[in-house]
Structure 1
Amino acid sequence: MNWQGETFELTVDRPGHGGVCVGRRDGRVVFVRDALPGERLVVRVTEDKGKSFCHAQIEEIVDAAAGRIEVACRAHAAGVGCCDASHMTGATARGIKATVLTELLQRVGDGIEWAGEIESLAAEPVPAAVETGWRGRMRLGVDPQGRPGMHARGGAVVPTLDCAAAADGLLADLPEAEAGSELVVVLDDAGDRHVVELAAVSQRRGGKRARAQQHRASAAKARRESVLAGSGVATWRVGDRTWSLPATGFWQSHRNAAASYSTVVGELLAASGVGRAAVGWDLFGGGGPLAGAMRDSTDEVHVVESDPRAVDAGGAAFADDAGVRFHLGRVDRAIAGLPSPDVVVLDPPRAGAGAAVVEAVSAAQPRAVVHVGCDQATFARDLADFGRRGYRPTVIRGFDAFPMTHHFEAIALLAR
């Protein structure tokens, strides 16, 4: 059975992971982007490989859901993949994200029960329907004419910079750049904007999958960087500490995220019942923005990070604190040489911590673990791995760290 190109009416009944909603027709699952649960739609199938599911796009909205609004991001309306949840109110989006996390914890997390809410990271309550201007850093493509822009879902660069998520001034008056290069644009905590060009990745022949693999492999290598605006060194602050990082180095996209997560980690460690800890591990720790919160209740914090730029910035930020020590290397290898921890904090990338790291952390038998996850499927998988090794979540909190998108963050406190 293949419905490629077919148009039909469909009611979507629930949200799915990855920013889609799910409907059924003749026993097959239909994934629809830009839909809301309960809507009746006319859809056209855009991808069907003859399996038990297919993908479709909206041709007409017959009955709209109550949470639907006019698309708040004009860049997304022009075809960019940036703000894929800007067609719904913030409250609706947070409700959908809570449903997604609940279902993933049940299905992927081996039956973990959760019925919480997704919390906003806005500094103050947001009176508008959606939170805009939250993003302080973006990575842009450059089209064949040298114009910067964001990527459409198919990968092409759309030369529009009218993104509602961008902080005021972030994308104003950007310079043209080499075709095929990328621009990293950062508005730091000192109010300075930095624009850094990453040299173009050579294009190779091959199918779509081969080209994607080649692009990922090239992107993982060091690329020539050219500073087009600002100093190229961004200033970030959490509490009383300041980090100076290359603008191309990692920092949270939401301008309130780093400080908020630091506060939450401190609160969860205080609620863990461990009390004053002798040793803590901060894994995938970057420059150590969470280490400061750990230090409030831990005598000695060991930060493990694979990016030497982050380690250098962290060492400078904690130069006055001998209780925070940085270790450069892969987490699964570096932790073998660390002293046994009382508490562990993990903040892995989207791929998650992985079974090897979870096993090593569990074998060290910390009394409490705080796990931070920016991808809910791998977050749930990691929690399931911890569960099989004797650790269960006592607190799970979700955060709307990427408003107007389907992405969000979750943080769990686990105990033996």
Structure 2
Amino acid sequence: MADRRRPAARPQRQAPDVHGGWVGRRFEVTVGPVAHGGHCVARHEGRVVFVRHTLPGERVVVEVTEDRQKGFCRGDAVEVLEPAADRVERPCPYSGPGRCGGCDWQHVSHAGQLGLKADVVREQLSRLAGLDVDVTVEALPGGPLRWRSRARFAVDRTGSPGLRRHRSHDVVPLDDCPITAEPAARAVLARRWLDAGAVDVALDSAGVVTTTTLDRRGRPLETQVLRPGAEVPEEPAGRAQRTAGGRDWEVEGTGFWQVHPAAADAVVGAVLDFAA
């Protein structure tokens, strides 16, 4: 007879093992199509492997970094045996397997990056919406480097700023970030930030750099403004000037705005074109 005083225990859900199995294994694969999130898809011994730092069609050696145990794992291309035509030397010395996780396609030519992004959008439209359409991704002006006007840098326990490794809490200290506008990168990376967990930085249309330090719970601590030609930050922060749609906008210094200086104008232009 069942004991009605104690309800039967529910079966415990087992979390996937992210440490065992294939983690650390190396093997050769021929890389398949690009996937969302900076990966390409490969297969090995009947399992899907999402591989970073590679390109479709390449033959690479993969090192498994994460094993989800249920049909797929993640890994890095640690050796390229047969490179694709769009592979280039990385312009950032911090990019690559086991390094900074801030960029997905530093090893790909600019034209190749646009093609990969178009492939991802095309596949999503086909798989999710059943639409078979041509997709072209157009580059905004300014080139692939020094375009980012707003960023958040992590800070390690010694006060050194940097960015995190891919899918990790580990901070990779940086001397520079080649995709970030030089005044914004210099304002954060040229000094230490004791007692901070992160630093938000933004460069506005007038050349004003604003930094906001955050504690390790993401709460704002202090905001400073550095104007062009000035060596000492001002406190408290002023407002940032942004330009889009032929108008000037005033926003919070490190508040939300499109990270590429030309993005807001591009969105306004697309909406006006469709409205017409």
Fold equivalence (TM over 0.5): yes
Cα distance in 1 for residues equivalent to 2:212 and 2:94: 22
Residue in 1 that maps onto 2:15:
none
| C-alpha distance 166-224 of structure 1, shift in aligned 2 (>3 A) | closer
Match of 1:135 among 140, 148, 163: 148
Instruction: Write out per-residue CA displacement over residues 209-257 of structure 1, whole angstroms, 9 at most, x where no aligned residue.
Output: xxxxxxxxxx4xxx23412333342111113322221123110011110
* Alignment partner of 1:105 out of 119, 125, 130: 125
For residue 257 of structure 2, the aligned residue among 251, 262, 270 is 251
Q: Alpha-carbon deviations, 1:3-22, whole Å to 9, x = none?
A: 33221110001111111011
Give the alignment partner of residue 147 of structure 1, picking from 144, 160, 172.
160
Equivalent in 135, 141, 159 of residue 116 of structure 1? 135
Counterparts in 2 of 1:171 and 1:257: CA distance versus 1, 3 Å: same
Does structure 2 retain, via aligned residues, the 8 Å contact 1:75–1:161?
Answer: no
Q: 1:11 to 1:151 in 2, by over 3 A?
A: same
Q: Secondary structure at the match of 2:199?
A: strand
1:201-212 to structure 2, matched below 5 A, reads 201=217
Measure the CA separation in 1 of the matches of 2:175 and 2:36.
Answer: 27
State the AA in 1 paired with 2:177. Answer: C
> How far off its partner does 1:160 sit?
0.3
Q: Structure 2 length normalisation: TM-score?
A: 0.82
2:54 aligned residue: 35
| Unmatched tracts of structure 1, length 5 or more | 202-218, 271-416
Amino acid at match of 2:107: H
Structure 2 unmatched runs, 5+? 1-19, 227-236
Instruction: Give the aligned partner of residue 77 of structure 2.
Output: 58
Rounded to whole Å, the distance in 2 between the matches of 1:252 and 1:194 is 15
In structure 1, C-alpha distance between the alignment counterparts of 2:171 and 2:65, rounded to whole Å: 20
1:104-163 CA-partner distances (Å, limit 9, x unpaired): 111122x0122121111115xx5xxxx111111111111111122222221222220421
Return the match for 1:193 from 185, 209, 225. 209
> Which residue of the other structure, out of 159, 177, 202, is the alignment partner of 2:173?
159
Structure 2: how far apart are the matches of 1:180 and 1:93? 34
Q: Distance in 1 between matches of 2:210 and 2:222?
A: 11
Residue 27 of structure 1 deviates from its aligned partner by 2.0
Match of 1:16 among 25, 35, 41: 35
Counterpart position of 1:94: 114
- 2:45 pairs, out of 26, 34, 46, with 26
Structure with larger RCO (C-alpha < 8 A, sep 6+): 1
Q: Which residue of 2 aligns with 1:68?
A: 87
What amino acid maps onto 2:55 in structure 1?
L
Secondary structure at 1:74 match in 2: coil
Aligned residue among 192, 210, 222 for 1:226? 222
One-letter amino acid of the structure 1 residue matched with residue 182 of structure 2: D
Q: What is the distance in 2 between the residues matched to 1:233 and 1:151?
A: 29
* Cα separation, partners in 2 of 1:5 and 1:181, compared to 1, 3 Å: closer
Q: Do the aligned residues in 1 keep the contact of 2:245 with 2:265 (CA within 8 Å)?
A: yes
Aligned to 2:104: 84
Distance in 2 (CA, whole Å) between partners of 1:189 and 1:181 is 27
More helix per residue: 1
The structure-2 alpha-carbon separation of the partners of 1:200 and 1:49, relative to structure 1 and needing over 3 Å to count, comes to closer
Task: Give the Cα separation in 2 of the matches to 1:2 and 1:196.
Answer: 42
SS of equivalent residue, structure 1 residue 76: coil
Q: Does structure 1 retain, via aligned residues, the 8 Å contact 2:49–2:75?
A: yes
Q: Which amino acid aligns with 2:62?
A: V
Q: Which residue of 2 aligns with 1:339?
A: none
TM-score, normalised on structure 1?
0.55
> Would the alpha carbon gap of residues 72 and 40 (structure 1) be closer, same or farther in structure 2, given more than 3 Å must change?
same
What is the SS of the residue equivalent to 1:38?
coil
Identical amino acids, percent of aligned pairs: 37
Which residue matches 2:9?
Answer: none
* Partner in structure 2 of residue 334 of structure 1: none
Aligned residues of 1:4 and 1:48 also touching (Cα < 8 A): yes
Asked whether the 8 Å contact 1:74–1:162 carries over to 2, the reply is no
Q: Secondary structure at the match of 1:118?
A: coil
Equivalent position to 1:169, from 171, 183, 196: 183
User: Secondary structure in 2 aligned to 1:13?
Assistant: coil
- Contact 1:8–1:44 (CA<8 Å) still a contact in 2? yes
CA contact (8 A) 1:196 1:229 kept: no
Q: Which amino acid aligns with 1:224?
A: P
Q: Could you tell me whether the CA contact under 8 Å between 1:195 and 1:232 is conserved in 2?
A: no
**Aligned-pair CA distance for 1:59:** 2.4
* Secondary structure of 1:62 counterpart: strand
